[in-house]
Chain A
Amino acid sequence: MVRIIQEVEPTCFEQAVINPKWDNAMDEKMATLDANATWKLVVLLKDKKAIGCKWVCKVKHNADGSMSKYKARLVAKGYAQIHGIDYEKTYSPVAKMTIIRVIIAMATTKGWSLHQMDVNNVFLHGD
């Protein structure tokens, strides 16, 4: 069994920047990061380590399989952090499949309709 790659996704910044489509996607991401005031530049404290970051590029598809957009994401190399020192709480709001099925079943029996909303740049929220 062979995995067929439809469109090559660059694995690092150097590969991405030479392709105008990915370069554009990265510019877009930087613009939203700036607009949300995601970070501020500070002097690194003594004995503290900064963690690196990396660009992750993905081709996004629609429900029918057609291509919808080139998406670039800037990620922090969180694996360089140590549990208990750099962070304590790890939790992500992920609903159980059972809950989702129950809600759908309930909506069916009661004749309610289901709606969907989507949050832009979800991980830029916080204080």
Chain B
Amino acid sequence: MQAPGAWLDKIGQYFVTSGFQTSNVDFSLYVKRTNHGIVVIVIYVDDLIITRNNDANIFNLNKLLKQKFEMKDLGELHYFLGIEVIQSHKEIWLLQRQYALNKLFEYGMTSCKPILIVLEQNVKLNADEGDVVEDTIMYRHILGSLIYMTIKRPDLSYVITVVNQFMQTPRKAHLDAVRCILRYIKHIL
């Protein structure tokens, strides 16, 4: 068996024997209901997010998990898969600021001029006009990170679907549109 599967089997078995139920919706979601309350665990390979309605039972669970597996207790959730999480009594804030900054740096757009609009008005993007972009892998790479940024910014979704249509053979106009999106991201940071 491959290592990731072996790991899931092991921790899954442990959760089931401790009274958790595997969710039918997602196999990496475990829920435990007792008279005292409810505990929910999400597994993302080696990261666990735990939430529950009763503060007391988390400490026992953390202790058990630390004993059974070599785990580090990172306390309150604050950074997960490139998403910053800020928690207060009333609200939970999600931010992808650092992720966006890293990506802008990676694509050499750190010092670009921010703009207020994502896409120019009345631009017709055509699949077979203009020069083909040399580094198509880079184009796809950027689109991948743009898609990831829609988690926090649903307003990017539409333009991203537009530039996504030219994944196969991106042309200069498409790359310009992508640059435009990156400059908009700099604006909303």
Contact = CB atoms under 8 A, between A and B. Distances in A.
Do A and B form a real pair? yes
Interface of A: 1-4, 61, 63-65, 78, 87, 89-97, 99-101, 103-104, 106-108, 110-127
Candidate in A2, A4, A100 with the most chain B CB atoms within 10 angstroms: A100
Contacts of A87: 1-2
Nearest to A3: B106
B25 interface: yes
A4 B8 contact: no
B98 A122 contact: no
Contact of A94 (B6, B44, B76, B94): B44
B73 interface: yes
How many B residues touch the partner, as a band? 35 or more
B146 to A, nearest CB: 13
9 contacts: A4-B106, A4-B108, A90-B4, A95-B43, A103-B40, A107-B92, A114-B50, A115-B62, A122-B45
B2 A78 contact: yes
A122 B5 CA distance: 11
A92 B49 contact: no
B98 A65 contact: yes
B85 A114 contact: yes
A116 B81 CA distance: 12
Contacts of B12: 93
Given A63-B79, A115-B58, A116-B77, A110 B2 contact: no
A116 B8 contact: no
Interface stretch (B63-71, B113-121, B122-130, B160-168): B63-71
B105 interface: yes
Nearest to B55: A113
A125 B69 contact: yes
B16 interface: no
A118 B81 CA distance: 12
B45 to A, nearest CB: 6
Contacts of A2: 108
B87 A114 contact: yes
B28 A95 contact: yes
Given A104-B94, A122-B7, A95 B77 contact: no
A77 to B, nearest CB: 13
B89 interface: yes
Interface string B10-50: 11100000000000011111000000000010111111111
B112 to A, nearest CB: 10
Contacts of B106: 3-4
